[in-house]
């Protein structure tokens, strides 16, 4: 009997220590996770954060509630800097960050005092897929007409280093006559500026474009360019920026500066230093969430595209960009920041 009791006790201890979820569940139970977003409310970035906040907690042991906080200052740069160095690494803060700033850090941009590879990547449910939306009232009705315009076309941007503005600056490098007006706090503000005639258009993600920028086929707004590696299924006739690149070097610059970053442009991350078991738990929860029928039904109602990547996949993409050819990175820096 004593031997049976001893075996039972040992097995029980091993079971408890082998199950990270049983150990960590009490930590999240009754807790609130803060999810910060680097844009203003109403845009595609914010919409995705709120979708994820509604479902992620259901897959975390202890089922914590999640609240969204917008931190749009400096186009989202303040959010990522605060997350990196001024946030307690306890697993109770998740940032939905603008991944373009990670590229800016590898370009050696002053003030980007963080290391993208040290973030704990949780996952992403979608890609950036930036497009250029223009109003036909501008007199431009196609990419070809835009490229041939004798005068610069005014478009709205957020801030240097932001993925959306990077796309505009890359288009300008390839030869499109754009006058970029930076300083808008989010793509919602750019859309309103387009509708009022203040600018001719701007660079939202495709999900945001199709749900709020272009209301119908007969709408005044249209997609002139795609800044993506592969043509989006819903835009088979809209040209991609890389198609206008004239040299192999230009193509490589577009591939590193836009296409590679597209993969990690909209990640959900935790700050450095979060205990490994909590990071693993959040990653597992995220991977389960993107397959959850309730989550998929919610995204279908919102008319957004689910195109997920795991935390490990995002970390690998960031590491690859960090190791890119220094000469190419130097030229990208000139395009985006000088």
60-71 pLDDT, tens digit each: 999 999 999 999
Domain count, the chain: 2
Task: Tell me the angle at which helices 276-289 and 311-322 cross, rounded to the nearest 10 degrees.
Answer: 110
Same domain, yes or no: 143 and 245:
yes
**Is 143 a domain residue?**
yes
Residue range(s) defining the domain that contains residue 189? 131-260
Q: What is the arithmetic mean of pLDDT over 81-104? A: 95
Are 181 and 135 found together in one domain? yes
Q: What is the pLDDT of residues 189-216, one digit of tens each?
A: 999 999 999 999 999 999 889 888 997 6
Q: Does 137 lie in the same domain as 30?
A: no
Q: Residue 263 contacts by C-beta under 8 Å, 6 or more apart in sequence?
A: 127, 309, 313, 314, 317
Judged against a pLDDT cut of 50, whether residue 8 lies above it is answered with: no
Residue 70's CATH number: 3.40.190.150
State which of 260, 280, 313 marks the end of a domain.
Answer: 260
Question: Is pLDDT at 25 greater than 60 in this prediction?
Answer: no
User: What is the predicted pLDDT for the residue at 217?
Assistant: 61
CATH number of the domain enclosing 217: 3.40.190.10
Of 237, 260, 283, the residue that ends a domain is 260
Rounded CA-CA distance 54/51 in Å is 5
Task: Assess whether 140 and 245 both reside in one domain.
Answer: yes
Please report the pLDDT score of residue 150 as a whole number. 96
Instruction: Look at residues 209, 225, 260 and tell me which one is the last residue of a structural domain.
Output: 260
pLDDT (average), residues 234-262? 96
Supply the mean pLDDT for the chain.
90
φ and ψ of 244, to 5 deg = -100, -5
Residues 137 and 217 in one domain: yes
Instruction: State whether 47 and 135 are in the same domain.
Output: no
């Amino acid at each position: 009997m004593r031997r049976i009791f001893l075996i039972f006790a040992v097995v029980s201890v091993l079971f408890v220590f082998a199950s990270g979820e049983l150990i960590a569940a009490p930590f999240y139970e009754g807790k609130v996770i803060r999810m910060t977003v680097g844009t203003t409310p109403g845009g595609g970035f914010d919409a995705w954060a709120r979708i994820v906040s509604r479902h992620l907690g259901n897959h975390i042991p202890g089922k914590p509630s999640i609240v969204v906080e917008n931190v749009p200052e400096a186009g989202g740069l303040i959010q990522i800097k605060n997350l990196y160095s001024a946030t307690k690494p306890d697993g109770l803060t998740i940032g939905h960050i603008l991944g373009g700033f990670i590229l800016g850090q590898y370009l050696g941009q002053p003030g980007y005092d963080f290391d993208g590879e040290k973030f704990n990547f949780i996952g992403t449910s979608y890609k950036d897929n930036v497009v250029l939306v223009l109003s036909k009232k501008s007199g431009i009705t196609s990419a070809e007409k835009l490229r041939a315009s004798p005068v610069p076309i005014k478009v709205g941007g957020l801030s240097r280093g932001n993925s959306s503005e990077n796309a505009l600056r890359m288009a300008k490098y390839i030869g499109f006559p754009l006058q970029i007006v930076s300083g808008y706090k989010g793509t919602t503000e750019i859309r309103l500026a387009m509708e009022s005639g203040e600018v001719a258009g701007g660079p939202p993600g495709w999900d945001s474009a199709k749900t709020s920028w272009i209301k119908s086929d007969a709408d005044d707004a249209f997609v002139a360019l795609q800044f993506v590696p592969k043509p989006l299924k819903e835009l088979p006739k809209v040209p991609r920026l890389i198609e206008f690149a004239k040299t192999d070097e230009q193509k490589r610059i577009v591939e590193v500066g836009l296409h590679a970053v597209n993969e990690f442009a909209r990640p959900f991350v935790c700050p450095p230093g979060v205990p490994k078991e909590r990071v693993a738990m959040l990653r597992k929860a995220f991977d389960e969430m993107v397959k959850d029928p309730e989550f998929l039904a919610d995204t279908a109602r919102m008319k957004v595209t689910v195109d997920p990547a795991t935390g490990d996949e995002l970390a690998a993409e960031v590491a690859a960009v960090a190791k890119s050819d220094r000469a190419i990175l130097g030229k990208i820096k000139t395009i985006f920041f000088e």
